[in-house]
Amino acid sequence: MSDNPSTIHGGEGAGSGFAWNDSAELHKCEDGGGLFHRFKVLRRGTVAEMIEFVMDLPEEKREDYAIQKAGDRTFKYAEIITLYRRSDFPKGDA
């Protein structure tokens, strides 16, 4: 579930912040999708938790992982590090 407000009933629309609390899954980059893709989930949590997890890995292992944001998109390492460096990233609050 997103922490952005809905526009149903005339709301203001999506907020300007990132949805750090959206559900996410951690995958190995080479898992390739396919029929059994959902069974290859290594870890589940919020986007912020998954980013913290990747950034806590040894630097040489970080590029091996990707984060799938629920119903949205996949973040590879270059995007993960950019999100981690954002001033609004909830470090330690995940």
Summarize pLDDT for 19-62 with one digit per residue, the tens.
Answer: 999 999 999 887 555 555 555 789 999 999 999 999 999 999 99
Q: Above 70 in pLDDT, residue 73?
A: yes
Side by side, the strands of the sheet bearing 65-69 are 43-46, 23-28, 65-69, 73-75
Q: Is the confidence at residue 12, as pLDDT, over 90?
A: no
8-21 average pLDDT score: 66
Q: pTM for the whole thing?
A: 0.74
